[in-house]
Structures are given as structure tokens and as C-alpha cells.
Amino acid sequence: MDKLRIIGNGPLNGEIKISGAKNAALPLMCAGLLTADTLYLRNVPMLADVKTTQKLLQGMGVRVFTDNISEFEINGSAVNNTCAPYDLVKTMRASILVLGPTLARFGEAQVSLPGGCAIGSRPVDQHLKGLETMGAEIVIEHGYVKAKAPGGKLKGARVVMDMVTVGGTENLLMAATLAEGTTILDNCAVEPEVVDLAECLVKMGAKIQGIGTATMVVEGVDKLHGCEHSVVPDRIEAGTFLCAVAMTGGKVVLRHAAPKTMDAVLDKLVEAGAVIEAGDDWISIDMRQRPKAVNIRTVPHPGFPTDMQAQFMAVNAVAEGSSRVVETIFENRFMHIPELNRMGADISAEGNTAVVNGVARLSGATVMATDLRASACLVIAGLVAEGETTVERLYHLDRGYEHIERKLSAVGAKIERITA
């Protein structure tokens, strides 16, 4: 099993190219199920979850071609299986996103209940409730969601989601594009990845109003066609690298970034003492001091993202002063705290609140990644720790970060992958 070995060695300097967003690429790939034409995707990150989605779609009969760098051609003209099996779905929660488009186009679908990171309950009840409102008949048997649309077509309806859900919004949005009549989706997630999906669907011929707002109105069409689309840059990857520089010091420019999707994160970095500049597709960070502690409270976009909570906790761990980190999205997303404390951090947690007392330095240790963002937090902590840090269970990290060790090495980090 792969490990990362990291030796803390001071400031980072140079440029890093940001990859496409995993959380945008996966629903975009699933959108290929909505049409018999070819969907051309660019700027796709070559990650474990992307490869799993590729296998999942191919198992359903979708033809998927890739250059194994950043481009995919997805053609759904020969779909011959509307079942997404457990052996693929179990590793990746986003697999549920094949449910809406498959049901909308073919009138039936079977999807195993999904897996993914163990960061707490992420129920799919909002997905199922919305599809039922659109006329689907759904039962859960033997761990599978089995859905049928009477007459082979979903019906337009008003769907009010009880909670803001990114995956639920994406699933229902894709389903609504081929439903008969008009669907009104209320309490939608407004994350940049949702907007990216909606803009791609419009290119495919969907009729969607209210993109980027909490209410989207979708007028169903008979069929969608192919298009070309470039995946939005990964704001979480960008934020992770910015946090790394905030901890180590130095000056780094991120290329192919999307600063307009990152206001809450950039504001917190400025509060921590970083000098941030940005253009349309780049961000620079200049850090010449020890970071200042900043309080964090995770909320849905456009607020502070839960996917950046662990990385900012690492920043706060070496910051001047004390801070409070409140996690309101997932109830089990503090599993990185014991690992940071193994490295000398002073963090205590009660319920959904962590108190972080900044320490002057961390010390290298062998630590274990427990989920995707926790693994990134441990990597950037290793960059400032004295001595050697070994991060185990890299399969979590590889689900969401493309060549992280290469990108960090290019700006001066001492980091290497060890393949057992």
C-alpha cells in the first residue's frame, strides 16, 4: 500500500497548475447517460474516483474513451444495462448520480446504496423523495435502490428539498431535463460544481432557468445531444495548496484556478495574514509571517466549505493564538484531530466544535489518513513538521488529488511516494 514520506523543509516557491474539480467531473461523466450522442469533456482530473466512474459507466454499456491525461469522450448510444452494481458503487458515494439520468432516459434504474468516505451520514433520501415526486416508483431491496417511471417517463413537478444537498440537486437536475413538463427545484445547492453541471446540460440542449440560485426551473425536452465542456477548476485542491503555503511561508502562484469560486477561503487566508492577489484564472499567495489563528464555521456555499475544514485546522495548529472550528455539515469529520495531535498539535473536540491552540512547531510522525480531506491536512502538516512524516492509507488521498506529491515537489517540498 502506497505511503507518502515528507520532510519539513521551509518555504514553498513557484507555480502550481490546478486540476479540474473531482466534484464537478463525476456528475458531468454521469450526464453522458442522458444522450445517445458523444459528450466531450476536457480538464478532467485523472483520479481514482474518475476511473471508478469510468468503469461504472462502461459496465452499463457506455463507451468511454480517454487520453489518460485530461480528456474523455463519453457515448451513451449502446447502454444495455441500467444497474450499477455494489462492487463499484461501494467505494464512491457519487455513484448514486447515475440514478437520475438513467431513470429519466430509460424509465428504470437499479443502483446499489453507495459508500465513500466515512465522515458521517450522507443519506440519499432527498434524491429518492424528489424522484418520487416526479412520479418514480422506488423500492429498496437487498441494498439496491430500484426505480421505475410509469409509462417510461418522469413527470415535471415542484420538488422542495428538505436540506441543501449537492448530490441531490445534481441528480434531480439531470432527471428533470428529460421529464415531461416543467420541474421546479427548490432549496438547490449553489456550489460551483452544480453550476458547472447545469451549464453543461444547457449546452446539451436542456432548458434550465435560475442556474446558480436556490430555485431552478427545468422545462423537460424529448432528448439531449452531445457537446464539448471543460470541467471547472478544483477550488478545494487550490485551497489545499494555499493552506500549505500559509503554513510553510513562501510565494506560490496557482495557474488554471477559479478564484471567483473561493471567496470564503481567500478571505480566511487574508485574515490569517496571507497576501492574496488574483486574476480571472490565477491566484498568488505571499506568506512572510507565522499565520494568525482564524475561527472557522462550515456552511453550504457560498459560505466556508466543509471540504476545507481539515486543511484550515492544520493551519490553525501552527498559528499564533487559539481558534474554534465548528463543523455543521458532517457529524464525523474530526477524525484528523488525533493524527494532528500525534504530530504535536494541541486540539480538543467536543461535539461539532474543536478548540485549536496554536503551537510553535509540529514534529514528524507516522499518521494514518481516515478520509480524503483529512489525508490532505496531514500532508500539509508534514510540510512544516520537524523531521520525517509518513502518511499512510493514501488511497483516500488519491480519490481527490491528482499527483499531489509532484505538484508540491515542484515548488520545493521534500515529499515522495513510497510504493510498498
Residue 58 neighbours by CB under 8 Å, 6+ apart: 64
Let me know if 163 is exposed, middle or buried by CB neighbors in 10 A (0-12, 13-18, 19+). exposed
Are the CB atoms for 50 and 44 separated by under 8 Å? yes
Cell, residue 280: 480571472
Residue 30 in grid coordinates: 454521469
Q: What's the half-sphere exposure (Cβ side, CA atoms, 13 Å) at 364?
A: 15
In the set 30, 117, 188, 200, the catalytic residue is: 117
The full length of the chain comes to 420
Q: Pick the closest to residue 389 from 411, 413, 358, 356 (CA basis).
A: 413
Q: With contact defined as beta carbons under 8 Å apart, do 208 and 220 qualify? A: no
Strand boundaries in 221-350, DSSP class E? 227-230, 250-255, 275-278, 282-287, 296-297, 322-326, 346-350
What is the per-residue burial (b if ≥16 Cβ within 10 Å, else e) of 184-212?
A: bbebbbbbbbbbbbbebbeebbbebeebe
Q: Quote the CA–CA distance of 370 and 367 in Å, as a whole number.
A: 10
Phi, psi of 362 (to 5 degrees): -105, 160
- 243 flagged as catalytic: no
Name the amino acid, one letter, at 262.
M
Q: For residue 147, is it left (φ>0), alpha (ψ between -120 and 50) or beta?
A: beta
Sheet hosting strand 353-357, strand order edge to edge = 296-297, 322-326, 353-357, 346-350
Q: Which residues are catalytic?
A: 117
